């Protein structure tokens, strides 16, 4: 945020450091313009008011992963205020503020890849000074599930705007969740507790669910909830106290004397507004209207900008197949995407396969074989269909020949059908499919058999 160190996860400890982020005496911070621009774009995407002037402040505390003895953050004049996060259920979570700050380093309590270090800790300063935005909501989320949904939507917006890679396992997105209870009908919120550093969507919902029950038990027994910071243990699903209010820090905030206030020109903010992509909920609504998708389908396909772009490229190559392409992308393509390091089949090639199904030349079952052949191959779907002999046969003479053979070889089934046992027809269709090695168009085969047996 204030030096030129690379921001990269997974480097050797203390490899990505310099005198500025290590807090050497005499060094001076310089604001990272790109970080400011990304935070501005994110704030605009969330509908915040971006302040023309904001102020960096020193947040003073001592901790081994914070070599300067203070963190440069923003306090009473943050970068942005207001705005909201839309929930998939239709509601909105209003935002209080968004501010910029620098991250702290990391304490390791065991040797990386090795055993525990009794009584000792190691410090990795690589993360020290990494740009961070803190996004603070108003206290108006009413359930652990909504909290999880809110964080998931935020995650989506981070990826859409390119403000973060959103990788929670690498700590690119972390959540501090606060919870307080109040009697039904009352406006005053009770004492809150904070669960720190939640690094998965599910953990947010589980930690808050546990915390709600814990506070409820205390209050039901006539006790008082302590204001404190807690941690969540995923294995047991419980939260534990980290520090209470008595140990709470007095951060003695004051304006950072080494930095002038951050002043953004109108033009700079406008440029970020122009760079905003079509946002997920806007895209989702457009998918519903333009392609006739159901709400859940549209939400799934607009869930990531790259998946949405993939879908639209395929639709562009086969415009009448928007619905069927949606089905293929949501099943076959997404399933492959879950594997790591998958090179996706080009959307135009997927569209060509779907077009063959839509025109009746390829059965859905055979299309799946073609898809797996076409994945990572240069051959066109058309060539693959011919090479594998999968093109569906709708030629009446060929179908009639198979049907005659099936009736002749299965006299019992034919007689049963004529006696009114209609399910016998299915068996005969199956025989035609078998004889045609799956290439007979089943509907046409069924019609021909029905006519012959009538």
36-49 b/e (C-beta count within 10 Å ≥ 16 → b): bbbbbbbbbbbbbe
CB–CB of 42/157 below 8 Å? yes
Q: Please, which residue, 35 or 429, has the CB nearer to Zn ion?
A: 35
Task: Say whether residue 44 binds Zn ion (CB under 5 A).
Answer: no
Task: Say whether residue 3 binds Zn ion (CB under 5 A).
Answer: yes
Task: Say whether residue 72 binds Zn ion (CB under 5 A).
Answer: no
- Measured CA to CA in angstroms, residue 411 lies from 317, 361, 453, 454 at distances of 47, 30, 11, 14
DSSP state of 63: B
Longest pairwise C-alpha distance within the chain:
99
Stretch that binds Zn ion, among 19-27, 308-316, 405-413, 415-423 (CB under 5 A): 19-27
Q: E strands, 175-237, where?
A: 175-179, 193-198, 228-233
Q: Please, which residue, 32 or 73, has the CB nearer to Zn ion?
A: 32
Stretch that binds Zn ion, among 3-11, 133-141, 305-313, 384-392 (CB under 5 A): 3-11
Q: Please, which residue, 73 or 126, has the CB nearer to Zn ion?
A: 126
With CA atoms as reference, report the closest residue to 72 among 44, 111, 32. Answer: 32
- Angle (CA) 288 293 297, round 5°: 105
CB of 7 vs Zn ion, minimal distance in Å: 10
CB of 126 vs Zn ion, minimal distance in Å: 9
CB of 302 vs Zn ion, minimal distance in Å: 38
Task: Say whether residue 5 binds Zn ion (CB under 5 A).
Answer: yes
CB of 16 vs Zn ion, minimal distance in Å: 7
The alpha carbons of the chain give a radius of gyration, in whole angstroms, of 30
Figure out which of the listed residues 9, 14, 18, 304 binds Zn ion, where binding follows CB under 5 A: 18
The H or E element containing residue 74 is: strand 70-74
**Total residues contacting Zn ion (rule CB under 5 A)?**
5
Stretch that binds Zn ion, among 11-19, 259-267, 330-338, 356-364 (CB under 5 A): 11-19
Q: Please, which residue, 18 or 108, has the CB nearer to Zn ion?
A: 18
Instruction: Read off the tokens for 45.
Output: 């995407």
Task: Say whether residue 66 binds Zn ion (CB under 5 A).
Answer: no
Place of tokens 């099943």: 331
Q: Which residues of the shown chain bind Zn ion in the complex (CB under 5 A)?
A: 3, 5, 18, 20-21
């Amino acid at each position: 945020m204030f030096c030129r160190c690379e921001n990269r996860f997974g480097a050797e400890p203390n490899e990505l450091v310099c005198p500025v982020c290590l807090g050497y005496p005499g060094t001076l911070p310089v604001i990272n313009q790109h970080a400011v621009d990304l935070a501005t774009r994110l704030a605009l995407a969330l509908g915040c008011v971006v302040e023309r002037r904001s102020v960096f402040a020193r947040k003073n505390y001592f901790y081994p992963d914070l070599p300067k003895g203070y963190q440069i953050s923003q306090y009473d004049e943050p970068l942005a205020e207001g705005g909201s996060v839309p929930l998939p259920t239709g509601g909105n979570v209003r935002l209080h503020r968004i501010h910029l700050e620098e991250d702290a380093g990391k304490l390791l309590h065991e040797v990386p890849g090795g055993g525990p270090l009794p009584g000792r800790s190691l410090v990795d300063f690589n993360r020290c000074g990494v740009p961070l935005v803190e996004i603070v909501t108003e206290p108006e989320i009413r359930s652990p599930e909504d909290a999880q949904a809110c964080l998931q939507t935020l995650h989506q917006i981070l990826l859409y705007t390119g403000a973060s890679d959103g990788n929670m396992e690498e700590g690119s997105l972390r959540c501090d969740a606060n919870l307080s209870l109040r009697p039904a009908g009352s406006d005053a919120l009770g004492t809150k507790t904070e669960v720190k550093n939640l690094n998965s969507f599910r953990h947010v919902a589980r930690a808050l669910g546990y915390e709600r029950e814990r506070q409820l038990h205390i209050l039901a027994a006539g006790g008082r909830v302590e204001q404190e910071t807690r941690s969540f243990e995923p294995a047991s699903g419980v939260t534990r106290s980290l520090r209470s209010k008595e140990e709470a820090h007095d951060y003695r905030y004051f304006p950072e004397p080494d930095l002038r206030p951050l002043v953004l020109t109108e033009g700079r903010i406008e440029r970020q507004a122009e760079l905003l992509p079509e946002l997920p909920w806007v895209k989702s609504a457009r998918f519903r209207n333009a392609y006739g998708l159901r709400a859940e389908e549209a939400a799934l396909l607009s869930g990531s900008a790259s998946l949405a772009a993939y879908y639209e490229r395929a639709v562009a190559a086969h415009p009448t197949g928007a619905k069927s392409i949606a089905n293929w992308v949501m099943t076959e393509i997404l399933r492959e995407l879950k594997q790591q390091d998958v090179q996706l089949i080009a959307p135009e090639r997927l569209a060509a396969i779907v077009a063959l199904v839509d025109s009746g030349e390829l059965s859905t079952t055979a299309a799946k074989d073609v898809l797996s052949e076409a994945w990572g191959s240069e051959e066109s779907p058309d060539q693959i269909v011919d090479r594998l002999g999968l093109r569906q046969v709708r030629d009446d003479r060929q179908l009639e020949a198979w049907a005659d053979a099936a009736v002749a070889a299965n006299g019992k089934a034919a007689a049963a059908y004529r006696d009114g046992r209609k399910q016998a027809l299915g068996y005969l269709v199956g025989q035609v499919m078998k004889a045609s090695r799956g290439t007979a168009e089943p509907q046409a085969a069924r019609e021909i058999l029905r006519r012959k047996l009538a």
